Amino acid sequence: MQVHLSALGCRLNEAELQNWATSFQKVGYSLAASADAADLIVLNTCAVTAEAARKSRQTVRRFHRSNPEARMVVTGCYASLEPEKLEQIMGVDLVVDNADKDVLVDKVKDVLDMPVMPEFATEPGESALFARNRERAFIKIQDGCRYRCTYCIVTVARGEEKSRSIDDLVDEVNQLHAEGVQEIVLAGVHVGGYGSDIDSSLYELVQNILERTDMPRIRFASVEPWDLGENFFELFANPRLMAHMHLPIQSGADSVLRRMSRRCRTEDFAQLVHDARTQVPGFNVTTDVIVGFPGESDDEFEQTMEYIEQLGFGHIHIFTYSDREGTKAARLPNKIAKDVKKERSRRLHELAAELKAKELKAQIGQTVPVLWESSNQQVSDDTRRYFGYTPNYHKVAVDVPLGHSPERCILATELKAVDEEQGILVGEIIEDIPVSSAQQSEIQITQL
């Protein structure tokens, strides 16, 4: 039996796929790279916006058209918010609420009566790391959120906060590292709220991972800025903690932040960014911004533009506000006209591109350890292009002679230039690049 696992939306959804993949393998399933080849399809949906909900429904229909014989399980935020609509879509066999995600594999066995092999009959081996990203794994450290930002439906879909134990997470990190993973990303709905329900904290979790594992690189998914204590950036003295965080600000106007029920003022956020950059050399801050929130005046938008230009960000995720049924923001007055939102989005995208270009140019001349990913891009008869990320999360490209592969290796790389068209860095690996597995096999055959 083959299962295809797919996710829309956030990194937490990706992390949950990893957990299910491991559980499915334990009961005898193998992983299918595409939905077309699967006996079972599991889709982890998103509902952060109305467009995300539409895409979730669209993906369900597309999977069913491509493989009508496969059984399909749909879960995630959209499945939790509108299960009745999903159940009416042709091809959906089972809808699993977010509250039941931990027992999804059991539900598949019990409700769908899908045949499985007993655990003792399966062969031990590498866990279910996705072929597209074998060097990095997302780890779900918690679920749910105790805050209620007025635009957010996810807190409704995910429920109350629930943290995994430190021992459980440390064991998972050690297992992943033993299987060749070089980098983990700590993910959750409210990452900074980790431990609120188990008398712990994100700081304590990171301390334990640094002390009790040898994972070379550790990152965070999005972290709410108000969750970081005064001493948090002291952790980055350990070079295994990558010098980057995604801290969503959402607006540069305090009046808009109040309407959003955000728990951070622009002054506090600016101080946080200053502390990070002062204490951690080369620290890269990326962020989220919503344009066109209900009632956003021209003056408030100009405050946001000025604020973002002053702080500078390595990358900005820009969202144009749209009403999401079930949120408080959907009931707010003074909605912004579409053409105004479009123009504001255009201007902010231009500013974001300028800031990113400036940040990339500042990296040129540095030599940094880059984690290199797999490649399927041959650029000439004798070279292949690989991509990787610097510790502070800038994408780098390098061309490597055929017969060699830096895949899953962390190698010292000199940052030489900026590819302005792609918005990435161009580098040169200055260490010996390992022989590729295919080339190594040829050498061994020749020696025989």
Q: What pLDDT is attached to residue 437? A: 64
Strand positions, DSSP E, 196-292: 217-220, 244-246, 284-291
Query: pLDDT tens digits for 241-282?
Result: 999 999 999 999 999 999 999 999 999 999 999 999 999 999
- Average pLDDT on 335-361 reads 96
Query: pLDDT tens digits for 74-119?
Result: 999 999 999 988 888 988 999 999 989 988 988 887 777 655 443 3
- Give one DSSP letter per residue of 106-164, joined into a string: HHHHHHS------GGGSPP------GGGTTEEEEE-EE--S---TT--HHHHH-S-EEP
The residue ranking higher by pLDDT, 118 or 429, is 429
Architecture of domain 2-121: 3-Layer(aba) Sandwich (3.40)
Residue 306 has pLDDT above 90, yes or no: yes
Residue 203 has pLDDT above 60, yes or no: yes
In whole angstroms, give the CA distance from residue 91 to residue 42: 12
Q: What pLDDT is attached to residue 108? A: 86
The residue ranking higher by pLDDT, 122 or 52, is 52
Q: Which of 289, 264, 273 is nearest to 347 (CA)?
A: 289
Highest average pLDDT, of 91-105, 201-215, 221-235, comes from 201-215
Q: What pLDDT is attached to residue 11? A: 81
Q: Does domain 367-439 have CATH number 1.25.40?
A: no
Phi/psi region, residue 87 (left: phi>0; alpha: psi -120 to 50; beta: rest), is alpha
pTM of the predicted protein model: 0.80
Q: Where are the domains of the chain?
A: 2-121, 131-361, 367-439
The residue ranking higher by pLDDT, 30 or 433, is 433
Q: What angle do helix axes 298-311 and 266-279 make, rounded to 10 degrees?
A: 10
> Both tokens of residue 127?
């866990």
What is the third-level CATH fold of 131-361? pyruvate-formate lyase- activating enzyme (3.80.30)
- DSSP state for residue 446 in the 8-state scheme: H
In whole angstroms, give the CA distance from residue 99 to residue 80: 8
- DSSP state for residue 319 in the 8-state scheme: E
Q: Are 396 and 423 in contact (CB under 8 A)?
A: no
Q: What pLDDT is attached to residue 448? A: 46
Q: Are 181 and 128 in contact (CB under 8 A)?
A: no
Residues of the chain with pLDDT > 90: what percent? 67
Residue 292: band (very low, low, confident or very high) from pLDDT cuts 50, 70, 90: very high
Q: Which of 164, 165, 170, 279 is nearest to 218 (CA)?
A: 170
Q: What pLDDT is attached to residue 395? A: 94
Q: Are 19 and 127 in contact (CB under 8 A)?
A: no
Q: Which of 317, 316, 329 is nearest to 356 (CA)?
A: 316
β-bridge pairing 367-372 and 410-419: antiparallel
- Average pLDDT on 32-57 reads 90
Residues 6+ apart with CB under 8 A from 334: 294, 295
Query: pLDDT tens digits for 376-391?
Result: 788 888 999 999 999 9
